[in-house]
Structure formats: structure tokens, C-alpha cells
Amino acid sequence: MQKLLLAVDRLSTWLGQLFAWAIVVLTVMVSWEVFSRYVLGNPHGWMLDVQIMLYGVLFMMAGAYTLSKNGHVRGDVLYGFFRPRTQAWSDLVLYVLFFLPGVVALTWAGWTYFNESLAIREQTFNADPIPVYPFKFFIPLAGAILLLQGIVEIVRCIVCIRDGQWPARIGDVEEVDVDKIKAMVGKNEPGRPLVAPPAESEGKL
């Protein structure tokens, strides 16, 4: 079971890292458009639409990645003082009541939205129109991947309720060393394990 949970974590991590390159592409595109517009005098009417779509794709595809790293914002004033089982029960209730209905609705509506756009070969409204439906395809795709990762998190809650501690998850690069900072100020979350390497975490369930 743990191997399956970590496999989904790896998928979400790989997709997050892949689409993170959109930031580099956006930087190049913006820089080129500024140069082309103000130096070469040759602006492109479609460039802004592409930038907006690319940013939207980046934002949507980061959802499952962030969830796999337990990185979404939560009201941590009380949560951090809960025992692991209490944290797991709290997460489980919120996942079932709010997460699952919302993400299922997003995925279903997004698929309908994409198909309607594809059927009419929807384009942007400007002098240089570009197709919109490829961008809209990422709405149900991101929803489906987020739903898959959410199911993994629900399983983690059930495991924590059973075992009294959170299963390990795949680590990734941190902007700062969060664990060291928490240790310095003495505010480690009770029951939340430090991220273990995959080799240490696999096969423990």
C-alpha cells in the first residue's frame, strides 16, 4: 500500500516539476515580446493570450503537486497542537465533505467545458486568434490528477487513524530548510514525521 501511495506522490511530483518549466517559458516569452514590441516595433497580438493560458496551466497543474507535499494553506493555530489521530480525523472529514464534491464537480464540469470548446473549435477574440480548447483540456486533467492525489491523502488519514502516526511521503526541494527552522524554534508539529527518503518509507505499511 505504501508503495502505491508513494507512486502517486511521484506522479504528482513529476508533473509539478515538469510544468514548473512553464515559468522559464513565460520569462522568455515576456522578455521577447518586450524586445519585439519596443525595439523591433513588431508586437504580436496572440502573445498575451498565450501567456495567460500558460500561467493558467501552471497554476492548475501545481494543485496535485502541492497537495502531495502537504503544502496547501491551512488554519494551523489549533491544528498543529492536535495529536496525529485528531489531525487525521479532521482532515478526513474535510476531504469527504468539501474536497471530494468540489474536485469531482470541477473535473466533470471541466470535461464538459472542454468538449463544448472543442466542438466549436473555440478561438480567442483578437486580430491573431489562437485555439482555446487545448488550454481548456487542462481543466479536467488537473482536476483528475488532483482527485487522485486527494484519494491518496484520504488513505493516509485512514492509516494515521489506525496506526497513530502519519505515513511518510516523498520529499522535494524546499526554498528554505523548514525542518531545521522548526527545530530551532521548537515548533515541530506533533506526530508529523520529518520527510523520509523513499527507501526508508517503502514497505512500512
pLDDT digits (tens, 9 = 90+) for 137-168: 999 999 999 999 999 999 999 999 999 888 88
* pLDDT beyond 60 at 198: no
> For residue 77, is it within any domain?
no
* Alpha-carbon span 194 to 197, nearest angstrom: 10
> For residue 75, is it within any domain?
no
Q: What is the pLDDT of residue 31?
A: 95
Owning domain of residue 26: 2-70+82-201
Find out whether 8 and 148 touch, Cβ atoms under 8 Å: yes
* pLDDT beyond 80 at 63: yes
Q: How many domains does the chain have?
A: 1
> For residue 76, is it within any domain?
no
Q: Cβ atoms within 10 A of the Cβ of 60, count?
A: 20
Find out whether 36 and 44 touch, Cβ atoms under 8 Å: yes
pLDDT band (50, 70, 90) for residue 195: low
Percentage of the chain modeled with pLDDT above 90: 59
Q: What is the pLDDT of residue 19?
A: 94
Q: What is the pLDDT of residue 201?
A: 47
